[in-house]
Chain A
Amino acid sequence: MSPEHGVAAATALTNFVFPNDLHVHWSLMIVLYPYITGIVAGAFIVSSLYHVFHIESLKPVSRYALIFALAFVAFATMPLLNHLGHPERAMSMMFTPSASSAMAGFGYIYSAYTVLLILEILLIYRPTLVALKKTSTGYMQKLYGVLTLGSDNVSEKSLALDHKIIAFLAAIGIPMACTLHGYVGFIFGGVKANPMWATPLMPVIFLLSASVSGIAGIILSYILIKTFTRKALDMDCVRTLIKFLWGCFILDFVFEMLELFSHYYMATHHWHQLHALYFGPLYGTFWVAQVGIFSVIPFVALGILSLVKLPDGVVKFFGSIVSLMILIQVLLMRWNVVIGGQLMSKSERGHTVFHPEWFEKEGILVSIIIMILPIVFLFLLSKVFPFWLDDDPAANKQSV
C-alpha cells in the first residue's frame, strides 16, 4: 500500500502543514449540520414508504416520521448560523445569492423542502386538527385554528382532495428529500481542492447514510417513546423498519468502503495523503469506531434481526441498540469526512490536529444542546400533533 511511485516519493509526508491550514475552519457545527439534515431526509423517506409506496406495515410511524423530520429540520440551520462569522448576513444567501455557489443552492432546497414538509403535515393532520380544535379551549384552540388553515371542512369530498394533494406532496417530497441530502454531499463533493471530499460518490454516500440515520432515529425513538409511555409497540412495523434499515445500511456501508477502495486502487498522487490520513489521525475514529465497532457489528446484527425469527422482546431490545449504534456510526462518518478532510493540509505533506473544546462557541456543550433541542421540540410537537393513531380523536377519518 505504500506509495513509492513518482511524485509521491518526492512529496513524502514530512508533516509540513501550510500555515493557514493549521486551524480547522469547519468544526463540530459542520459535523452536526449534515447529521441533522440527514436524519430529516431519512425520516421523510420512512414516511414516504407508507404514503407513496404503500408499505402498510409502516402506517403506525408514517405520521410520526413526518413530525420527527419537522423537529429536526427546524434546527438544521442552527449549527450553520452558529458557525457563521456574520450570521446577521445569512439571508444574503437567499436574497443575493451567487449562482455558481453550491452552498447558495442549499438555502433554496432547504426552504422548499421545509415548506413541503409543513404543508404535508398540516394536510395529513387536518381531520385530527379540526377535531382537536373543537375539543380544546383557549390558546390551544387558537393554535389549532391557525393549523387547520381556517378550514373545518372534513367532508368526504374535502378529505379526498386532501388525499390527492398529500399523495402529490409525498411524491415530489421523495426526490426533494433525496436532493436535500444528496446536495449536502455535493457541497463537500464539489470541493476539488480536498482529495477526500472530491468524489462523485460523496452525494451517494451522504444520501445513503442519511436514509440510514433517519430510519435508525425513527426505530430508536419509536421503541423508546412506546416503552416509556407503556404503550404497545407494533412489532410488525418495527421488524419492517429493521429490514429497511438493513437494506439501506448494506448499500451505505458497501459504498463507503468502495469509495475508499477506489482511492486505494486508483492510487493517484492523492492516495498517499489519504492513506496517511486513514492510517494516521483517523485510525481510531474511522477504522476502529466507524468501521470496526459501529458498522460491522450492526451489519451482522441487522442481518440476524431481519432474517431470523426472534421473540418480540429480543427484536425490541437489540433493535434499539443497533439503531443507536447506527446513529453513532453516521455521526462518526460525518466527523471523519468533515473533520478528517480538513486534517489533511493542502501542502500534501502533513496533517493538522483538531481537539474540540467543551466551552467554546462551536464546542462540545453547544453541540450537545443543538442535538437536544430537536428532541425538546419533538416533545412540544407531541402536545399539538398526536403521533399515534390510538391517541387520535379523528382516527376513523384518518385515511392517510
Chain B
Amino acid sequence: MMDVIQKEMSRDRRAFIKNVLSGTIAGSLLLVIPAGAMDLGNIPEQITGMRDDTEPFITKRKFAFIVDITRCIGCGSCCVADKNEYQVPDGMYRTWVERYVIDDEDNVYVDSPNGGLDGYQEPRKDIPHPVRDTFFVPKLCNMCEHPSCVQVCPVGATYQTDDGFVLIDAKRCVACGYCIQACPYSVRFINPKTKTADKCTWCYHRVRKGLLPVCVNVCPVQARKFGDLNDKESEVYKILHQPHVVSILKPGMGNKPSLHYVGLRREVV
C-alpha cells in the first residue's frame, strides 16, 4: 500500500517539477519576446506606414497634434483614458479639459474641476449674467520646437528626440522642478510615485507602434487629431494647410508648439 502511495507522490512531484519548469520557460520566453510585437498582429495600424519604419528615430515624419475646440463636448473621455494609460496620480494632469463661459458682460469664467476628468455634467450656476458663449479647451503637452523644459533641465533628463517628441528620462531626472517653472503651459508635474518630472508624451510608445495617442483614440467627436505633417494625405496636414482658423497657445513665448488649435478663441491662455 505504502509503495503505491509513494509512487503516486513521486509521480506528482515529477509532474509538479515538470509543470514549474515549463511554466518558467514559457514565462521567460514571454519576457524575452516583446509582448507588444505579439499583440500588434491583431491591432490595425492607425498611423499609415509606421510599422515599416524600423529606424531608431522617425526622422521622415513631422508629427502634429490638433485640438478642434469647435468639436470638444467636454465629456472627459480623453482624461479618463490618459489617467488609465499612465496611472496618473490624483491631482496631477498630463492632459485636462477647461470649460470657458463668457457672459453678456464679456466676463470670462474658466474652470477645470478635477482637470475635467469627471466630464462637465452640470452647467455652471454661479454666472451672474446671461451666458453668451461657452466652449471647452483640452490641454496637453505642446511638444514645442524650442522647448523651455529641455533648455533648462540641468541633467539632460528632459530631451527632444529627432522626431520632435519632448520626453523625460525618469532614470536621470533629479526632480529639481526647473522644467515645471519653465514650461509656459504648465503641463508638467512631479510624479509622487517616481519622484521625477512627468508630463504628456503624446503616447510616444503607442505612436512608435503605429497607434494613435489614447486620447485621440477615445475622443467620441474627433476633437483631438494626431498625424504626420509630411504626409499630405493626413488629416492634420489638410487642416493646417486649408483656410481654417488655426492658432497656437502663447505664441509670444517663442516656443513654437506642435500642438495647434482649430477655432482657438482669444480668451484662451
Is B185 positioned at the interface, with any CB of A under 8 Å from its CB? Answer: yes
Cβ of A155 under 8 Å from chain B: no
Residue contact B173 to A192, C-beta cutoff 8 Å:
no
B201 at the interface (CB under 8 A from A): no
- Pick from B109, B154, B182: contact of A191, CB under 8 Å: B182
Is A93 in the interface zone, CB < 8 Å from B? Answer: yes
Report B-chain residues with C-beta under 8 Å of the C-beta of A26.
177, 181
Q: Assess the B151–A101 pair: CB atoms within 8 A.
A: yes
Q: Is B112 an interface residue (CB 8 A)?
A: yes
Indicate if the CB atoms of A347 and B196 lie closer than 8 Å.
no
Q: Which of B22-30, B52-60, B187-195, B238-246 contacts A (4 or more CB under 8 A)?
A: B187-195
Residues of A within 8 A of B (CB): 7, 9-12, 14, 16, 18-23, 25-26, 80, 83-87, 89-90, 92-93, 96-98, 100-104, 107, 187, 190-194, 342, 345-349
Whole-angstrom distance between the alpha carbons of A98 and B150 in the complex? 9
How far in angstroms is the closest Cβ of chain A from B99? Answer: 10
Shortest C-beta distance, A62 to chain B (Å), equals 35
* Given A11-B108, A347-B110, CB of A21 within 8 Å of CB of B186: yes
Quick one: which of B110, B112, B151 contacts A100, CB cutoff 8 A?
B151
CB of B210 within 8 Å of the partner chain: no
B266 within 8 A of A: yes
Interface centre among A14, A101, A194, A349, by most chain B C-beta atoms within 10 angstroms, is A101
Q: Which residue of A lies closest to B94 (CB)?
A: A20
Chain A nearest Cβ from B30, distance in angstroms: 31
**Residues 178-219 of chain B: 1 if any A CB is under 8 Å from the residue's CB, otherwise 0?**
101111111111100001100000000000000000000000
Distance of A16 Cα from B124 Cα, bound (Å): 14
A346 CA to B93 CA in the complex, in Å? 15
Best-surrounded residue of B155, B185, B269 (most CB of chain A within 10 A):
B155
B133 to chain A, nearest CB (A): 12
* A107–B154 alpha-carbon span in the complex (Å): 10
A145 CA to B184 CA, complexed, in Å: 54
How close is B33's CB to chain A, nearest CB, in angstroms?
32
Name the residue of chain A whose CB is nearest to the CB of B265. A10
- Residues of A with C-beta under 8 A to B108: 10-12, 14, 349
Q: How far is the CA of A14 from the CA of B155 in the complex (A)?
A: 37
Across the A-B interface, the 7 shortest Cβ-Cβ residue pairs: A85-B175, A85-B195, A16-B110, A104-B154, A193-B184, A18-B186, A103-B154
A193 to B152, CA, bound (A): 12
* B145 proximal to A (CB < 8 A): no
B12-30 near A? 1/0 per residue, CB < 8 Å: 0000000000000000000
- A86-B195, A96-B156 known; 11 other A-B pairs, CB under 8 Å? A12-B108, A18-B112, A20-B92, A21-B186, A84-B174, A89-B172, A98-B154, A100-B151, A101-B178, A190-B152, A349-B110
Asked if residues A20 and B109 are in contact (CB atoms below 8 Å), the reply is no
Interface flag for B221 (CB, 8 Å): no
Contact present for A193 and B112 (CB under 8 Å): no
Q: Are A93 and B182 in contact, CB atoms less than 8 angstroms apart?
A: no
Please give the distance in Å from B154's CB to the nearest CB on chain A. Answer: 4
